[in-house]
Amino acid sequence: MKRLFVAIKIHPSPELLQVYYSLKKDLALEKIRWVEENNFHLTLKFLGNTHTSLIAKIDRTLKNVSLNTPSFEMHFHDAGIFGSRYAPRVIWLGIENNKQLNEFADNVLNELDQIGFLRDRQNFVPHLTIGRIKHIHNKKHLKNVIDKHKGNPIHRETVNEFYLYESILKREGPVYKVLKVYSLA
């Protein structure tokens, strides 16, 4: 069994890193597990614990998706949290509404659904998770820090490929191992 997910790797620009380090600095007194910048990715589908015998089927499915998808661009422009303001769980950077990304993600989800990896009930919400909140002492301060980055252009990413990753959980944090790379048409 391997713990798998499908994702777009994010190659952080200096502007994205500036926002990331600004958030880390401004929230240094809070208990947040920050995602390492070399692990930045936009998850398309979390497959979970998957028997290794299914990897070839997943590979064929994702290759077919890649052949029918042209390259496209994403624009990151926002910061926010998932969870309520009383119990925030995740700090994220958002992506402008993008028809090409939404169609691509929908295609990935539909094709994986056809081979037994059922779609989630929630709609696809494209975002880059940059921090997982363990505990916040000052929720008002968190809101103010996040609000500083709302609506600001943060990063532009050209998507030419996507990946099948294995997530290996370690005490220090997850290690993401690339199993397959899929170039877009």
Residues listed for the chain: 185
Lowest mean pLDDT among 22-26, 32-36, 103-107, 150-154: 150-154
DSSP-H helix ranges across 69-178? 99-114, 139-147
The letter for the amino acid at 18 is: Q
End-to-end CA distance of the chain: 31
pLDDT for 85: 81
Q: Which tokens sit at 182?
A: 């899929």
pLDDT for 122: 79
Mean of per-residue pLDDT scores for the chain: 95
DSSP-H helix ranges across the chain? 14-26, 55-67, 99-114, 139-147
Q: How many domains does the chain have?
A: 1
Mean local confidence (pLDDT), 44-50: 97
Catalytic residue among 127, 135, 137, 141: 127
pLDDT for 123: 85
Active site residue 75: no
pLDDT for 111: 97
The whole-model pTM stands at 0.94
Mean local confidence (pLDDT), 111-134: 93
Confirm if 104 and 60 have CB atoms less than 8 A apart: no
For residue 160, what is the domain's CATH number? 3.90.1140.10
Non-local (6+) Cβ contacts of 40 within 8 A are: 9, 10, 11, 12, 16, 128, 130
Confirm if 89 and 132 have CB atoms less than 8 A apart: yes
> What is the domain extent for residue 43?
2-183
Catalytic residue among 41, 77, 137, 155: 41
Active site residue 149: no
Under the banding of pLDDT at 50, 70 and 90, the label for residue 142 is very high
pLDDT for 14: 97
